[in-house]
A and B are shown apart, each in its own frame.
Chain A
Amino acid sequence: MSSVTGAKRQRRYAMTVDTRLCVGCKACVLACKAENAVPDGLCRDWVVEETRGEFPALSMEIRSERCNHCTEAPCVANCPTGASHVNEGGAVLVTHYKCSGCKACIAACPYEARFVHPDGYVDKCTFCLHRVKKGGQPACVSICPTATLTFGDANDPASAVSSQLASRRSKVLHPESGADPNLHFLL
């Protein structure tokens, strides 16, 4: 897999999901839909509830999931048109008009984070870069009633995500993919 690290890699945007706090209410999903005018029946983020064990010895993990904005993003490497690209802070975006809708990225994504927008291009979470560039937070982070989600620059040791990742146990999904994801689940 070819490296997709570009010259712009000074900031490294990352998100943490505190699974201890998340109640799986899906406020994140709906806030994203409203902010990004995601068409009916489609979502850019979603919630997974995983129960383990047998009654009554049970445990549960709840995860608000979305595009992992991978450092070694397979979708970018596999995009024939250059639509999927690395933008500011390492955020992986799709430039709509460059996308031919070939779905190579959908096949390559280990997280099933992508879908075809009714307008013909492939769509997914953007880390709300349009808000972040204006100094805001992604819509899901802003709305979350339990403050489960934290967004920031993992290359800045003073950021909240950095201190969480330094001090808490965490995991990523599909580490075996080698994609080096930037969505971290605090345990």
Chain B
Amino acid sequence: MTTTRRDFIRIGGTGFGAAAVGTGITTKWWGLDGDRVHDPGTEGDRVVPTFCELCFWKCGVLAHVKGERVTKIVGNPEHPLSRGRLCPRGTGGVGLLYDPDRLKKPLLRRSPKRGEQKFEEVSWKEALDFTASKMDDIRQKHGPETLALFSHGNGGSFFKTLMAAYGSSTISAPSYAQCRGPREVGFDLTFGSVLGSPEILDIENTRVLTLIGSHLGENMHNTQVQDMARMIGKGGELVVVDPRFSIAAGKARYWLPIKPGTDIALLLAWIKVILDEDLFDREYVAKYATGLDELRKHVEGKTPEWAFTETTIAPNVIVETARFIAGARPASLVHPGRHAVWYGDDTQRSRAIAILDALLGSWGRRGGIFVPSTLAVPKVHVPDYPAAKTANDKPGGKAYPFAYEILSDGLCNASIPASPSENPAVRGWLVYGSNLPMTLPQPKVVVEAAQHLDLLCAIDVLPAEITGFADVVLPECTYLERWEDLGPFGWREPFVALRQPVVPPMFDSKPGWWMAKELANRLGLGDFFPYEDAGKMVEERLKAGGHDPEKAKAKGVVLGKKVPVTTEDGLVLSFKTPSGKIELYSQRLAAAGADPLPNYTRPEEPPPGHFRLLFGRSPVHTFARTTNNRFLGTVTSENELWLAAKAAKEQGLENGEAVVLVNQDGVRSQPVRLKVTQRIRPDCVYTVHGFGHTSKGLRFARNRGMDDQRLITRVKIDPIAGTTGMSVNFVRIEKAEPADLVGAVGSIAPAGSVAAAAGAAAGSGHGGEA
């Protein structure tokens, strides 16, 4: 402050200037007063730590509050996942909190059919009484297991408790069958452990990181991208296998623009080169792994020349990259990926990656995959849960023996009667923060399933599409307005984090824990929520764990004592597979009649004039969850369709024009702006998932961009994990007709329309991208 004053006097020239400012008479007299530095005044009167919900990485944040208003959200330096830094979405929490389209009151359906979006605002009492009585009916008439919960996010824990108390284990999250499932199954089969979220990857210390389709940087998982940047800063290198010149590819030593669907061929050829040239970690494999001889035999004939014909990657490049990757072991990591449901052979691809990682000796090694440590905090005492039953598609069931979670798409199918005389296995849905019509493939199945239910209760912050199909909509307050249970994590250092309210709930919205507790009370299950409020429960847990609740609330995080997480720190490796070893050859798969070693199957070719539809993520958005966020929309408010320049020329299409996609089953997309680029192979197209909302209530995101989900009319089910491969659809591209553009919002809106003006207003203030 003294500097300010001194500078001020020097510019102002005299003591008179200072006095004049003090009296306020001549402050507008040009030149006589100083050029004070304007303070925008966004620093909070108080700063509350919590953790983010804009995606599911759960980074620690600090929310600045002035009066009752959250002015800005920054990273919490104490939190191991954010380390004081945030991705663009983290800052955008304010845009969710102050979204004018938020659900404000409980709603009851007042239309004969579900999906007509006709609701009446009702009291909480009426909404909860209705929900509880329907839940009771289902329990009495059909059994508790016929009630399903779809849940996404940390806040779902209270509804999981409710379900357990109610007697149903029919709980599912699309994050299994529509995302990470096959990766987890593939790694579990090989190493006896899943990778979880956040992934237990020591990328910070990796020397060569190989990405198979993972677009880190666009897939903006904060810590992982921080680690990748640290790795690059330390001289680490990237090998990127992707049909698209991704952001990561732009930083890579090697970019391998692979033909979509042929990754297993490349992985097998890499394994062969590494085995043939004796580049693998012999000692590690001898000590920890089984099945090397079978693996050697399996890759006979899987030469780089063979792989070239499948992948279009030149043999010498395959050999050179195999050597490069192996040269950095054990700090060489073939990234297991995250969204892994592509072509239906995804568990086997994940197995091939896991085998390669085993050959590199990267499990339990610095720069590879670490073995996480956790901080255990005692749970509150509740009565014994009743023996829970589940509807079909149960984990470990006959169809998919290695599925360890219930399939969300399976629950939809199970909600539709096989014949008019039969009862469906699932009668009611509680849907917590899962926008099923934009999450599951074949959204028409979701819509049909909804019509057969006895109860569809949606708990959400925003009027997402699923709420339009609900009988009852329970408006939850945002993560910035609620307590939740402690977020426990497995990480390099053990810790738990607190999600605590920053400001009181707006409107008539309520926290999820309150709704679950109120429903439990009505169903005679109140004993399972033995606390006044979730904040008290968290305090109790912390105290029971020997932690000071006040200190925890002030810091937002409780850190445990570091323990070894790699062999370099002194960790002793063990594997929870049946053999106690890394299973290169999988006895479990063999016993189940599946391929014990990964085999390559040639993917289907696009029909003439068609392209394979690939989708991915924007760093600014979390699928469809954030696209109504006007703050985030300032920088990215719609998606584009990427098409290779060569293909665009052949099709007579121009950069920036509006196009419509038509898939192999004749399904037409909303119009989308074409991005003609050198950055993609000519046999596929790419778009960012999560745009093209249709819910009337999402007034910003509605009709802005294109929803790729509706084009995913076909899936290839992974025979091992039961997960839905979704990159198996083909599209042709048509120029958008005027009729297609009616109602479109954003850059492709018809000139002069209200929508066009709205689109322009949402654009970046600056010219932006070249």
Contact = CB atoms under 8 A, between A and B. Distances in A.
Do A and B form a real pair? yes
A54 B764 contact: no
A41 interface: yes
Interface in A83-99: 85, 87-88, 93, 95-98
Contact of A34 (B72, B222, B233): B72
Nearest to B769: A49
A182 B682 CA distance: 41
Interface string B619-652: 1100000000011101110000000111000000
Contact of A48 (B216, B636, B770): B770
Given A95-B36, A130-B37, A40 B630 contact: yes
Contacts of B247: 23-24, 60, 62
Contact of B88 (A26, A35, A139): A26
B71 interface: yes
Contacts of B217: 23-25
A76 to B, nearest CB: 11
A102 B41 CA distance: 26
Contacts of B84: 142
Given A25-B220, A40-B630, A148-B229, A34 B91 contact: yes
B750 to A, nearest CB: 20
B75 A130 contact: no
Categorize the interface residue count of chain A: 35 or more
B37 A93 contact: yes
A143 interface: yes
Contacts of A142: 74-75, 84-85
Interface string A98-138: 10000000000000100100000000001001100100000
Given A87-B35, A88-B3, A49 B770 contact: yes
A33 interface: yes
B686 to A, nearest CB: 13
B763 A41 contact: yes
Contacts of A60: 245, 247, 249-251
Contacts of B71: 34, 37
A59 B250 contact: yes
Interface in B212-240: 216-218, 220, 222, 225-226, 228-230, 232-233
B679 A25 contact: no
B766 A115 contact: yes
Nearest to A84: B35
Contacts of A53: 678
B7 interface: yes
A7 B9 CA distance: 13
Interface string B174-213: 0000000000000000000000000000000000000000
Interface in B37-75: 37-42, 71-75
B753 interface: no
Contact of A145 (B7, B218, B222, B677): B222
B35 A48 contact: no
B95 to A, nearest CB: 9
A46 B635 CA distance: 9
Contacts of B7: 8, 88
Contact of B30 (A82, A88, A112, A145): A82
Contacts of A147: 85, 226, 229-230, 233
B401 to A, nearest CB: 39
B172 to A, nearest CB: 31
Contacts of A48: 768-770
A31 interface: yes
B646 A30 contact: no
Nearest to B224: A145
A110 to B, nearest CB: 13
B357 to A, nearest CB: 24
Interface string A7-46: 1100000000010110111110111011111101111001
Given A26-B635, A133-B37, A37 B42 contact: yes
Contacts of B92: 30
B107 interface: no
A75 to B, nearest CB: 14
A23 B229 contact: yes
Contacts of A145: 85-87, 220, 222, 225-226, 229
A51 B679 contact: yes
B31 A146 contact: no
A100 to B, nearest CB: 10
A144 interface: yes
B420 interface: no
A22 B74 CA distance: 19
Contact of B28 (A42, A50, A97): A97
Nearest to B31: A82
A35 B85 contact: no
A81 interface: yes
A34 B73 contact: yes
A30 B232 CA distance: 24
Interface in B243-268: 245, 247-251, 255, 257
B37 A51 contact: no
Q: Looking at A20, A23, A51, A130, which has the most chain B CB atoms within 10 Å of its CB?
A: A23
Contacts of A175: none
Contacts of B769: 47-49
B573 interface: no
A158 interface: no
Contacts of B113: none
B94 interface: yes
Nearest to B768: A46
B636 A26 contact: yes
Interface in B664-683: 677-682
A58 interface: yes
Given A31-B74, A142-B74, A41 B762 contact: yes
B110 interface: no
Given A34-B71, A58-B678, A115-B766, A21 B35 contact: no
10 contacts: A27-B86, A27-B90, A29-B88, A30-B631, A34-B71, A48-B769, A56-B255, A96-B38, A126-B37, A145-B226
Given A35-B42, A47-B768, A147-B233, 5 more contacts: A50-B770, A51-B679, A126-B37, A133-B4, A144-B85
